[in-house]
Structure 1
Amino acid sequence: MLKSKVKIGYILIGVLLPLWVWSNEPRKFTIRGYAQGTDYTVIYYAQDSVVSVHEIKDMLASLDSSLSIYKPYSTISQFNDSDKGTKVDGHLKKVVEKSLEAYVRSQGTFDITIYPIVRAWGFAEKTIESLPDTARIQELLTCVGSDKIMLRNDSLIKSMPCVKIDVNGIAQGYSVDCVADFLESREISCYLVEIGGELRVKGKKPDGEYMKVGIEMPADFAYQQPIIGKVLTLERGAVTTSGDYRKYVESNGSKIIHLMDPRTGFSIKTNMISVTVVAEDAITADAYDNVLMGMGVEEALRFLEGKKMEAYFIYRDDDGRVKDAYSRGFKKFINETEM
């Protein structure tokens, strides 16, 4: 009887040992959902499921409660409805701090106080019956300018009641960073976080490969599916894209894109079709892809000099032909074998 027990024990060890070895191999976990008006995907590699769907949902709901102009109870909506300003939570404070930095570095082309203009053109939470004329735009411009807001401790102050902010040009990048930082707090060293096309990656997969990111090329017609152009390989970092072919309204046969110039109150004038930015974090990439969209290629390349960002541009030349260009440091991300 004793021998039998020993033999059974040996057989069990022989079975369990390979299972133990296999369980130490990181597995792929995927979480998908819908938030902030778009789809999101979280992929990570770990030995066990250390992040739940509900944790991601709760985090994104918390971000919406702070940053969404579409939520009447959000912190940003409370600020917009106030006469002089209001106390802000940690999320809105960090986003405003980064926005004010981008406002200065871009010489005013990135400006979250553009909300009255964005709303007038129909790119905000309420539909409009007619497009604004020049007189109306000039009136609204008196309420625009990030020099009209100021962070003071935990309060955001405005100089005029009509000053309102919209952080949609940077909030998704910040949200990506929040989710990525949360994964790292759970000691996850390989992941991809994507919200509405803005993403951040880190680490090698179990097969030894780094994450690959495809750059979406604009389709010729709105009903066509975009195709993937260049493929990037990143050890770590964030990738965001801004383009003129997704959000727009039409008036008298003209296309008015959603990217507004806060200095004029009208759509930016640009030959850019799209700009893809690679940066250390998604909030930075998300802010500056909009800034670069409003520049010519040569100006954009000069702007990037000395900054911890690289960019890829798709644009039309003077003859209307579609071309591309990229900054000097961007080339190292391009995976030629996948093209």
Structure 2
Amino acid sequence: MNRVFIPLSLSQPDPVPADAPTESLGGQTMGTSWSVKLIRPPHLALETIRDGIQQQLDLVIGQMSTWSASSDLSRYNQSEAGSWQALPVPSVPPVHFLRVLDCALDVAERSGGAYDPSIGPLVNLWGFGPDPARSEAPDAAALAQAQARCGWQRVRIDRARNALLQPGGLYLDFSSIAKGYAVDLVAEYLRGIGVSSHLVEIGGELRGHGVKADGQPWWVGLEQPPAPTGSESGMQSVVALHDLALATSGDYRRYFEHAGTRYSHTIDPRTAQPIAHALASVTVLHADCMTADAWATALMVLGDEDGLALALEVGLAALFVRRDGAGFRESMTPAMQAMLS
């Protein structure tokens, strides 16, 4: 049985020839896979489109990857205390690095620090960043030392000089927002060259626009946590991604186990510990994937009660899936409920 979500405000999609085939591109990026489905205008070669997509992905890696020592983000993280680091490509309105940082800081403030782009030292210490993976929890002293380096309030931006202050030991990590931004960048590139019907996906984060040759939108299934052994997976949900993006955060994607405890890759900046509540996943629908990506992480950290309360306050379309005995229990915001068809 399927449950269908349809955006409330739909722009009229561009017409597509009835015989237009759906073509696919894909590859690897940012430690995960990417894929694009599209209706290609006849005057554009598929290889040309692929090259353009790769340029967008390379731009994000070049500016925002903590896994690349030569990225702008890594150069900032490694810079000396008191130094000002020039940000790439000054522009009005701000684009790329600063656009992502501004969004991250906004979500950090509105979530009371449940989301924090400076959480890098803790992510690395728990073994979920570029540092080697762990098989047991770090000790209290190491955690305290790493947490002392964090704090989104320490970020200082000089917009007139297009520069970012390194106050000392600050290590920004855009892992929970950069993939979403890359999805947006690819989608904006495709629309810019006239590919008006497309579905972009990077590591499970998606954004779609337009319709296929049969007039149907890009239908996408909402990611569900793995069902407990011996139980049914439950109702499947699909959403029409036209002028809409989605991102899902779950505690089952990356983790390690030690002495009977499972440690999720989602770290609560306020406690320096992996989340340990019953919330299994959060899906956020939004106009852009960058914002959906950041908010999905913030709500996942907050848990189902506090997360739902904040999602209601902010007006987000969000679906929460909580572990409940041998199964799951769902809750959703009114904005999400209103999309049910």
The verdict on a shared fold, with TM-score over 0.5 as the criterion, is yes
Which residue pairs with 1:44 in the alignment?
A: 38
Which residue pairs with 2:319 in the alignment?
A: 312
Match of 2:164 among 149, 156, 174: 156
Q: Could you say if the C-alpha distance between residues 182 and 261 of structure 1 is closer, same or farther in structure 2, counting changes exceeding 3 Å? A: same
| Counterpart-to-counterpart distance in 2, 1:274 and 1:72 | 32
- The Cα shift of 1:331 comes to 3.2
Which letter does structure 1 place at the counterpart of 2:58?
A: A
Stretches of 4+ aligned residues off by more than 3 angstroms = 22-27, 128-131, 331-335
Secondary structure of the corresponding residue to residue 39 of structure 2: strand
Which residue pairs with 2:274 in the alignment?
A: 267
1:250 and 2:257 are equivalent in the alignment: yes
| Counterpart-to-counterpart distance in 1, 2:340 and 2:278 | 23
Choose between structure 1 and 2: higher helix proportion: 1
Highest RCO, 1 vs 2 (Cα 8 Å, sep ≥ 6): 2
Secondary structure of the corresponding residue to residue 314 of structure 2: coil
Q: Report if the CA contact (8 A) 1:216-1:228 is conserved.
A: no
The structure with more radius of gyration: 1
- The Cα shift of 1:23 comes to 7.2
Which residue pairs with 2:191 in the alignment?
A: 184
| RMSD (Å), alpha carbons | 2.3
| Counterpart-to-counterpart distance in 2, 1:217 and 1:121 | 25
- The Cα shift of 1:48 comes to 1.8
Q: Could you say if the C-alpha distance between residues 297 and 157 of structure 1 is closer, same or farther in structure 2, counting changes exceeding 3 Å? A: same
- The Cα shift of 1:25 comes to 5.0
- Per-residue displacement from partner, 1:242-266 (whole Å, max 9, x unpaired)? 0001111222221110111111111
- The Cα shift of 1:233 comes to 2.0
Q: Report if the CA contact (8 A) 2:279-2:300 is conserved.
A: yes
Q: Report if the CA contact (8 A) 1:197-1:241 is conserved.
A: yes
Q: Report if the CA contact (8 A) 2:18-2:213 is conserved.
A: no
TM-score w.r.t. structure 2 length? Answer: 0.84
- The Cα shift of 1:134 comes to 1.1
Which residue pairs with 2:26 in the alignment?
A: 32
Q: Could you say if the C-alpha distance between residues 212 and 334 of structure 1 is closer, same or farther in structure 2, counting changes exceeding 3 Å? A: farther
- The Cα shift of 1:152 comes to 1.1
Match of 2:153 among 141, 147, 155: 147
- Per-residue displacement from partner, 1:61-106 (whole Å, max 9, x unpaired)? 1211111111111111100110134112242211111111111111
Which residue pairs with 1:56 in the alignment?
A: 53
- The Cα shift of 1:126 comes to 1.8
Q: Report if the CA contact (8 A) 2:316-2:333 is conserved.
A: no
Q: Report if the CA contact (8 A) 1:27-1:48 is conserved.
A: no
| Counterpart-to-counterpart distance in 2, 1:298 and 1:261 | 15
Q: Report if the CA contact (8 A) 1:279-1:308 is conserved.
A: no
- The Cα shift of 1:190 comes to 1.6
Q: Tell which deviates more after alignment, 303-312 or 258-267.
A: 303-312
Match of 1:112 among 94, 110, 117: 117
Which residue pairs with 2:292 in the alignment?
A: 285
1:169 and 2:163 are equivalent in the alignment: no
Q: Report if the CA contact (8 A) 1:66-1:76 is conserved.
A: yes
- The Cα shift of 1:309 comes to 2.4
- Per-residue displacement from partner, 1:279-322 (whole Å, max 9, x unpaired)? 010001000001111234343332123535201111024x4642
Which letter does structure 2 place at the counterpart of 1:33?
A: G
Q: Which sections of structure 1, spanning at least 5 residues, go unmatched?
A: 1-21
What is the correspondence of 1:184-203 to structure 2 with a 5 Å cutoff? 184-203=191-210
Q: Could you say if the C-alpha distance between residues 134 and 54 of structure 1 is closer, same or farther in structure 2, counting changes exceeding 3 Å? A: same
- Per-residue displacement from partner, 1:194-221 (whole Å, max 9, x unpaired)? 0000010112222111111101222247
Secondary structure of the corresponding residue to residue 324 of structure 1: strand
- Per-residue displacement from partner, 1:23-63 (whole Å, max 9, x unpaired)? 78544222111111111111122332635212212221121
| Counterpart-to-counterpart distance in 2, 1:118 and 1:144 | 11
- The Cα shift of 1:193 comes to 0.5
Q: Report if the CA contact (8 A) 1:230-1:334 is conserved.
A: no
Which residue pairs with 1:17 in the alignment?
A: none
1:80 and 2:74 are equivalent in the alignment: no
1:95 and 2:92 are equivalent in the alignment: no
Q: Could you say if the C-alpha distance between residues 244 and 49 of structure 1 is closer, same or farther in structure 2, counting changes exceeding 3 Å? A: farther
Which letter does structure 1 place at the counterpart of 2:98?
A: K
Q: Report if the CA contact (8 A) 1:69-1:76 is conserved.
A: yes
- Per-residue displacement from partner, 1:103-138 (whole Å, max 9, x unpaired)? 111111110111111111101112056642112111
- The Cα shift of 1:191 comes to 1.1
Match of 2:127 among 119, 122, 127: 122
- The Cα shift of 1:330 comes to 1.6
Q: Report if the CA contact (8 A) 2:179-2:290 is conserved.
A: yes
- The Cα shift of 1:334 comes to 4.5
1:236 and 2:243 are equivalent in the alignment: yes
The alignment-based identity, stated in percent, is 30
Q: Which sections of structure 2, spanning at least 5 residues, go unmatched?
A: 1-15, 89-94
